[in-house]
A and B are shown apart, each in its own frame.
Chain A
Amino acid sequence: MTLPMERHVLVVFPHPDDEAFGVSGTIATYVKQGIPVTYACLTLGEMGRNLGNPPFATRETLPQIRKEELLASAKAMGVTDLRMMGLRDKTVEFEDDEKMVKMMENLIADTNPSLVITFYPNYAVHPDHDATGRAMIRAIRRMPEVARPTIYALAFSNDSKEVLGEPDVVHNIKESREEKMGAMRAHISQTAWMLEEMDKRLADGEPEAENWLHYERFYTYNFNKDFE
């Protein structure tokens, strides 16, 4: 599937691996279409719980491991503009709200995106996800309507479909399946258990597993149904 042309795509998530599950196929597709993509990752997932037993890392060595995984994932997707924003996992919602909006405004000013991909506030489960989406939507809301980039928002809370309906944007990313698997594998410290389960489900021919590797789904953010 060829995606509609974009001037620049800005992707903003709080944790390394957030991009892998739901967006890496889309990112790889844009890159292959020659569209510039910037991926800003707010933290290094310092508080991740997967440390193994026996442990392969400690609370203090995990950030370096996840930083290298993030670099490998960017490489797998073909992203050359990767920005690490230096916040700490779990603390995004406690940063000063204006500082967070300013961070997003700076990213927008720097990249002049026609499309922004982030989390849908209140429907993204992890408090860092909600806080990231919230800051980005506030930043874009302040722009004149005609200058605003389109926002593709990711929602996966248990009540998201009930409240928001089905996602209106569906990308067939079958042709970027390898890149998506590459991004998933890059974050192996966090995704090992999931990949193992997925391999089993793929081997069993479960359509849902195939489905996950073929489609990525987003909500076009609508300021007429603003979250606040």
Chain B
Amino acid sequence: MELVNVEQLQVLLNKFANEDVYIHLETTNGAYASHFDEKVFNAGAFIRNVMLQYELGKVAGEAPHRVGLKLPHGWVYAQGITHFELDEHDRLLMAGHDQSGKLAVALQISKTPFTY
């Protein structure tokens, strides 16, 4: 993955607009967060292979960036995006990695379903 280049990422987001796409959206502070530090509140969520269409996709802000997808009746939103790539299967992978190299957020868009 590369550090986000706003212009390039914006072009890619435009490419997937107004088409059926599969989404992987995830945020996490790790399953062990409150084991290592009992003061940490453990929270996370993921959805995988939910199909939708968005009419407008935008990357916003200085790094780490925010990405928002406007749907006919709602939104998809991710904060903390640092890296992106269009992989060999033409899937747009976006992720936010913290200073220690741990994934904190991921938003992925594909015209074909992601594996299980």
Please list the residues of chain A having a beta carbon within 8 angstroms of any beta carbon in chain B.
47, 49-55, 58-61, 63, 86, 88, 90, 125-128, 157-158, 193
Residues of B within 8 A of A60 (CB): 87, 91, 93, 108, 114-115
**How near does chain A come to B39, taking the closest CB pair, in angstroms?**
13
Given contacts A125-B32, A125-B35, contact A53 B99 (CB under 8 A): yes
**How near does chain B come to A14, taking the closest CB pair, in angstroms?**
11
B28 touches A158 (CB 8 A): no
Give bound CA distance, A206 to B30, whole Å: 28
Give bound CA distance, A63 to B48, whole Å: 15
Considering the complex, give the chain B residue whose CB is closest to the CB of A129.
Answer: B31
Given contacts A60-B114, A127-B31, contact A55 B100 (CB under 8 A): no
B93 touches A53 (CB 8 A): no
The A-contacting residues of B in range 74-88, CB under 8 angstroms, are: 82-83, 85, 87
**A125 CB contact (under 8 Å) in B1, B31, B46, B99:** B31
Interface of A (DSSP majority class): loop
Residues of A within 8 A of B103 (CB): 49-51, 59
**B46 CB contact (under 8 Å) in A47, A58, A127, A158:** A47
Residues of B within 8 A of A (CB-CB), count: 31
A55 touches B32 (CB 8 A): no
**B98 CB contact (under 8 Å) in A47, A53, A61, A90:** A53
Besides the known contacts A47-B28, A51-B95, 17 further A-B residue pairs in the complex with CB atoms under 8 A apart:
A49-B28, A50-B103, A51-B97, A51-B102, A52-B97, A53-B97, A54-B3, A58-B85, A58-B93, A59-B103, A60-B108, A63-B115, A86-B116, A90-B31, A125-B32, A127-B31, A128-B31
Q: List 6 A-B contacts (CB under 8 A).
A: A49-B103, A55-B83, A58-B85, A59-B26, A60-B114, A60-B115
The A-contacting residues of B in range 1-23, CB under 8 angstroms, are: 1, 3
